[in-house]
């Protein structure tokens, strides 16, 4: 069934010298029987055996199995042949010391993708006479017992051919007899090919002997030409599953703790910084805006900032003089009723006249601007007035927020001085305040005619103001903080009646903002954003802002800068950790070359080895990946908290989204594959025989 025809094997040594290990060998094996390959050391016995076992390829000539030449075998066929047809027994046993007897035998089955059954293994151990040793460790066995385990491991696969390379080379005479007896018994059922240099044993046991000397065979053999009955078909068994391969790699893990920790640390740092960068990319402006509005029960109306520039080469300036036009357009296209907000930057500076008293009062009353309103609009907003609606152009409404500030810290002008506690609404209504017009340098006198309740609820901001007090006890700090929170909202301007601004400050007022109604759904916010995009062009620009922080864009710009640094940092670290993984694997694999060869001879496929020996890197990456998920989440959490405290953003700006997890996973996968492929492939590409040989010699 197995024919060797004109087989020559030439090895190339490292110095490019050629060694002819086999020279034109012709031979034929039957389906059963005891065959010995006899010869002195170096005569080519192992070489021939490796060729028969499909562990190596001949330089020329053919090995024919049931009429089909190995040279026609695809890789898959050869794997199947090794995996299911051949049971290989080595001189040095080549058992796995870290597994016990049971597991060593079971491994051969697992390599066929089968689950080992206890009875099956007991039966085979019984057959080789060591059923009582089933749970022994390998290093607790004698040489003869070890070889029996090796034979059991070959038999469990139920092979067609049993191949043994000097199986008794390391054993004493008595044990040698026993092993030969055992093999002899098996040769009734199997084709048994045994390599030996002991002529006595060969003559005593073998029915056929192939004498080798310096790669040549002594007696010529005429090959039969009779047609072959197709006795043996290749069985394509499944192979070791990826999971089992990884598990096996894990039990083999012998990496030092320091190396492991270092590797995980570096890889975690690399993954974390990359993950962090990715997360910074995935913030959603609309979600932040909406989330923030929601957190504050939609008290912070959206504002629209307007910018203009005369031509494209100049920088953007805040402000527009046709604000009313865009206000009308927005109303027409989105049904949203915005109001022009003339802020203190464009109109003037407000203060309470008290000439040389403390400056604190000035900052206490520092309205963000002026809004012109009519009573209908106030009704629409559900705002209520104590006092009266402005009847003349110099009358103003102040908001409840400012009234509360006065109540807390007192009120003072040329006519009246009220301490905290003395302030009442009645006393405040009718008081004069001043506004200095920045452009005309004039001082305008205005009269408070009423207090507008804008239904401001400071509860959501409580934490922020508390923090401020704890850190710094100065009043100014507190009021500034709140003022910032309220920047651009309807809670902090002063209100005048229609056309009063032009009357007080002249007709050509520039305004930089539109201040709007409360929008209670995300979709409308999006509609507005989209509309403003269509209205923006190369000279006019409209940006949506929300009350909580005018600074969101600056923050995000800064973060984007951090992000690019982090990306470079992460990239460099990534290269380092790939290199570290790479050298780690190289080291491991160099030390396990022989083991890989043995597994190969036992029927492991290239794929199995790939997973067994890259498991180390896979575990390291896996653990690092999990760690970096945690690190990223913590980092982002800290970041959000920081933004909340320092920038008054009440919602999480950054999220560790599914997409980030996924992309990070892909990065980890790719980098691990890069790190493992080269070292592992280098070994897999080597023929199994070469790998085993290195150690056996």
Residue numbers of the site for ligand ADP (CB under 6 A)? 11, 13, 19, 21, 39, 41-47, 690, 693
Task: Identify what 256 binds: Mg ion, ligand ADP, none; CB under 5 to 8 Å per kind.
Answer: none
Tokens read off for 164: 């043994």
Q: Which is nearer to Mg ion, 193 or 340 (CB)?
A: 193
Q: Which is nearer to ligand ADP, 41 or 538 (CB)?
A: 41
DSSP secondary structure code for residue 65 in this structure:
E
Q: Which listed range, 6-14, 44-52, 512-520, 615-623, lies at the site for Mg ion (CB under 5 A)?
A: 44-52
Task: Identify what 144 binds: ligand ADP, Mg ion, none; CB under 5 to 8 Å per kind.
Answer: none
Q: Which is nearer to ligand ADP, 72 or 214 (CB)?
A: 214
Bridging pattern class, strands 443-453 and 395-399? parallel
Q: How far is the CB of 27 from ligand ADP (least distance, A)?
A: 15
Q: Which is nearer to Mg ion, 46 or 268 (CB)?
A: 46
Q: How far is the CB of 620 from ligand ADP (least distance, A)?
A: 33
**C-alpha span between 231 and 670 (Å, rounded):** 46
**C-alpha span between 107 and 644 (Å, rounded):** 58
Q: Exposed, middle or buried: residue 288 (CB in 10 Å: 0-12, 13-18, 19+)?
A: buried
Q: Which is nearer to Mg ion, 46 or 296 (CB)?
A: 46
Q: How far is the CB of 669 from ligand ADP (least distance, A)?
A: 36
Q: How far is the CB of 694 from ligand ADP (least distance, A)?
A: 8
Q: How far is the CB of 7 from ligand ADP (least distance, A)?
A: 12
Q: Which is nearer to ligand ADP, 13 or 313 (CB)?
A: 13
Q: Return the C-alpha torsion angle 87, 89, 94, 100, nearest 10.
A: 60
Task: Identify what 43 binds: ligand ADP, Mg ion, none; CB under 5 to 8 Å per kind.
Answer: ligand ADP
Q: How far is the CB of 124 from Mg ion (least distance, A)?
A: 27
Is residue 94 part of the contact set for Mg ion (CB under 5 A)?
A: no
Contact 544, 316 (CB under 8 A): no
Tell me the three state secondary structure of residue 51: helix
Task: Identify what 21 binds: ligand ADP, Mg ion, none; CB under 5 to 8 Å per kind.
Answer: ligand ADP
**C-alpha span between 329 and 308 (Å, rounded):** 17
Q: Which has the closest alpha carbon to 484: 530, 442, 547, 436?
A: 547
Among 37, 43, 46, 411, binds Mg ion (CB under 5 A): 46
**C-alpha span between 400 and 298 (Å, rounded):** 18
Task: Identify what 679 binds: Mg ion, ligand ADP, none; CB under 5 to 8 Å per kind.
Answer: none
Task: Identify what 543 binds: ligand ADP, Mg ion, none; CB under 5 to 8 Å per kind.
Answer: none
Q: How far is the CB of 601 from ligand ADP (least distance, A)?
A: 15
Find all residues with CB under 8 Å of 66, minimum gap 6, and list them: 1, 228, 230, 231, 232, 233
Tokens read off for 295: 């957190």
Q: How far is the CB of 168 from ligand ADP (least distance, A)?
A: 14
Q: Which listed range, 39-47, 122-130, 531-539, 567-575, lies at the site for Mg ion (CB under 5 A)?
A: 39-47
Q: What angle do CA 563, 566, 571 make, to 5 degrees?
A: 125
**C-alpha span between 44 and 23 (Å, rounded):** 9
DSSP run (H or E) holding 348: strand 348-351
Q: Which is nearer to ligand ADP, 19 or 575 (CB)?
A: 19
Q: Which has the closest alpha carbon to 523: 302, 298, 283, 290?
A: 290
Q: How far is the CB of 225 from Mg ion (least distance, A)?
A: 32
Task: Identify what 534 binds: ligand ADP, Mg ion, none; CB under 5 to 8 Å per kind.
Answer: none
Q: Which is nearer to ligand ADP, 114 or 211 (CB)?
A: 211
> How would you label 123-142 residue by residue, b for 16+ Cβ within 10 Å and e otherwise?
ebbebbebeebbeeebeebe
**C-alpha span between 353 and 377 (Å, rounded):** 31
Q: Which is nearer to Mg ion, 46 or 588 (CB)?
A: 46
Residue nearest to Mg ion (CB): 46
Q: Which is nearer to ligand ADP, 47 or 112 (CB)?
A: 47
Is residue 50 part of the contact set for Mg ion (CB under 5 A)?
A: no
Task: Identify what 33 binds: ligand ADP, Mg ion, none; CB under 5 to 8 Å per kind.
Answer: none
Q: How far is the CB of 658 from ligand ADP (least distance, A)?
A: 52
Beta bridge partners of 434: 351, 445
Q: How far is the CB of 46 from Mg ion (least distance, A)?
A: 3
Find all residues with CB under 8 Å of 204, minimum gap 6, and list them: 180
Backbone angles phi, psi at 222, to 5 degrees: -85, 120
Task: Identify what 42 binds: ligand ADP, Mg ion, none; CB under 5 to 8 Å per kind.
Answer: ligand ADP
Q: Which has the closest alpha carbon to 295: 443, 420, 464?
A: 464
Task: Identify what 280 binds: ligand ADP, Mg ion, none; CB under 5 to 8 Å per kind.
Answer: none
Backbone angles phi, psi at 367, to 5 degrees: -60, 150
Q: Which listed range, 46-54, 99-107, 148-156, 306-314, lies at the site for Mg ion (CB under 5 A)?
A: 46-54
Q: Which is nearer to ligand ADP, 91 or 112 (CB)?
A: 91
Task: Identify what 693 binds: ligand ADP, Mg ion, none; CB under 5 to 8 Å per kind.
Answer: ligand ADP
Beta bridge partners of 317: 308
Task: Identify what 292 binds: ligand ADP, Mg ion, none; CB under 5 to 8 Å per kind.
Answer: none
DSSP secondary structure code for residue 128 in this structure:
T
Tokens 């089968």 correspond to 114
Is residue 168 part of the contact set for Mg ion (CB under 5 A)?
A: no
Q: 416-421: long-range contacts (C-beta < 8 A, 24 or more apart)?
A: 417/354
Q: Which is nearer to ligand ADP, 644 or 696 (CB)?
A: 696
**C-alpha span between 102 and 131 (Å, rounded):** 10
Contact 609, 688 (CB under 8 A): no
Q: How far is the CB of 53 from ligand ADP (least distance, A)?
A: 13
Task: Identify what 13 binds: ligand ADP, Mg ion, none; CB under 5 to 8 Å per kind.
Answer: ligand ADP
Q: Which is nearer to Mg ion, 195 or 274 (CB)?
A: 195
Task: Identify what 153 binds: ligand ADP, Mg ion, none; CB under 5 to 8 Å per kind.
Answer: none
Q: Which has the closest alpha carbon to 406: 383, 426, 376?
A: 426
DSSP run (H or E) holding 676: helix 658-685
Find all residues with CB under 8 Å of 407, minimum gap 6, and list them: 420, 423
Q: Which is nearer to Mg ion, 40 or 443 (CB)?
A: 40
Q: How many residues bind Mg ion (CB under 5 A)?
A: 1
Applying CB under 5 A, the residues found at the interface with Mg ion are 46
């Amino acid at each position: 069934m197995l024919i060797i025809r004109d087989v020559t094997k030439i090895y190339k040594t490292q110095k490019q010298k050629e060694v002819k290990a086999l020279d034109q060998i012709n031979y034929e094996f039957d389906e059963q029987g005891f065959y010995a390959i006899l010869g002195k050391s170096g005569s080519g016995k192992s070489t021939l055996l490796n060729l028969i076992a499909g562990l190596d390829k001949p330089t020329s000539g053919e090995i024919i199995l049931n009429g089909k030449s190995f040279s026609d075998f695809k890789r898959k066929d050869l794997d199947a042949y090794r995996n299911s047809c051949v049971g290989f027994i080595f001189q040095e046993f080549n058992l796995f010391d870290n597994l016990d007897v049971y597991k060593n035998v079971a491994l051969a089955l697992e390599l066929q993708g089968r689950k080992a059954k206890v009875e099956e293994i007991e039966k085979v151990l019984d057959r080789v006479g060591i059923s009582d040793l089933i749970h022994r460790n390998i290093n607790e066995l004698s040489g003869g017992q070890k070889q029996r385990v090796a034979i059991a491991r070959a038999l469990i696969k139920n092979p067609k051919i049993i191949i043994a390379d000097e199986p008794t080379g390391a054993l004493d005479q008595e044990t040698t007899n026993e092993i030969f007896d055992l093999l002899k018994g098996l040769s009734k059922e199997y084709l048994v090919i045994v390599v030996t240099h002991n002529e006595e044993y060969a003559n005593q046991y073998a029915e056929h002997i192939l004498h080798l000397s310096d790669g040549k065979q002594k007696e010529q053999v005429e090959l039969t030409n009779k047609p072959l009955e197709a006795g043996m078909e290749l069985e394509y068994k499944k192979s070791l599953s990826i999971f089992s391969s990884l598990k096996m790699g894990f039990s083999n893990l012998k990496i030092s703790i320091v190396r492991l920790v270092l590797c995980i640390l570096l890889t975690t740092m690399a993954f974390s910084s990359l993950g962090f960068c990715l997360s910074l990319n995935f913030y959603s402006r609309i979600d932040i805006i909406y989330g923030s509005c929601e957190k504050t029960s939609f008290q912070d109306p959206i504002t629209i900032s307007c910018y203009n520039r005369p031509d494209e080469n100049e920088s953007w300036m805040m402000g527009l003089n046709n604000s009313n036009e865009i206000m009308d357009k927005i109303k027409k296209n989105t049904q949203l009723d915005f109001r022009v907000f003339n802020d203190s930057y464009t109109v003037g500076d407000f203060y309470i006249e008290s000439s040389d008293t403390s400056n604190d009062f000035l900052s206490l009353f520092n309205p963000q601007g002026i809004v012109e309103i009519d009573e209908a609009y106030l009704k629409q907003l559900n705002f209520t007035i104590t006092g009266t609606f402005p009847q003349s152009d110099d009358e103003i409404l102040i908001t409840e927020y400012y009234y509360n500030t006065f109540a807390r810290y007192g009120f003072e002008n040329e006519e009246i001085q009220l301490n905290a506690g003395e302030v009442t609404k009645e006393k405040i209504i009718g008081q004069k305040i001043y506004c200095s017009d920045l452009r005309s340098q004039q001082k305008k006198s205005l009269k408070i005619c009423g207090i507008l309740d804008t239904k401001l609820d400071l509860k959501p901001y409580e934490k922020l103001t508390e923090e401020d007090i704890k850190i710094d006890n100065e009043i100014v700090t507190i009021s500034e903080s709140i003022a910032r929170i309220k920047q651009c909202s309807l809670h902090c301007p002063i209100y005048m009646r229609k056309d009063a601004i032009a009357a007080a400050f002249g007709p050509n007022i520039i305004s930089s903002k539109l201040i709007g109604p409360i929008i209670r759904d995300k979709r409308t916010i999006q509609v507005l954003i989209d509309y403003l995009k269509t209205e923006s062009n190369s000279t006019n620009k409209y940006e949506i802002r929300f009350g909580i922080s005018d600074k969101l864009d600056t923050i995000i710009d800064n973060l984007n800068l951090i992000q690019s640094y982090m990306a470079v940092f992460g990239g460099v670290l990534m290269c380092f950790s790939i290199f570290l993984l790479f050298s780690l694997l190289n080291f491991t694999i160099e030390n396990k070359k022989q083991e890989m060869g043995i597994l190969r001879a036992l029927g492991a496929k290239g794929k199995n080895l790939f997973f067994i020996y890259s498991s180390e890197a896979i575990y390291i990456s896996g653990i690092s990946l999990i760690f970096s998920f945690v690190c990223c989440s913590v980092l982002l959490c800290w970041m959000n908290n920081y933004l909340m405290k320092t920038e008054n953003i009440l919602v999480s700006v950054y999220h560790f989204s599914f997409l980030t997890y996924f992309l990070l996973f892909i990065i980890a996968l790719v980098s691990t594959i890069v790190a493992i492929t080269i070292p592992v492939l280098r070994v897999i590409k080597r023929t199994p025989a070469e790998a085993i040989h290195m150690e056996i010699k």
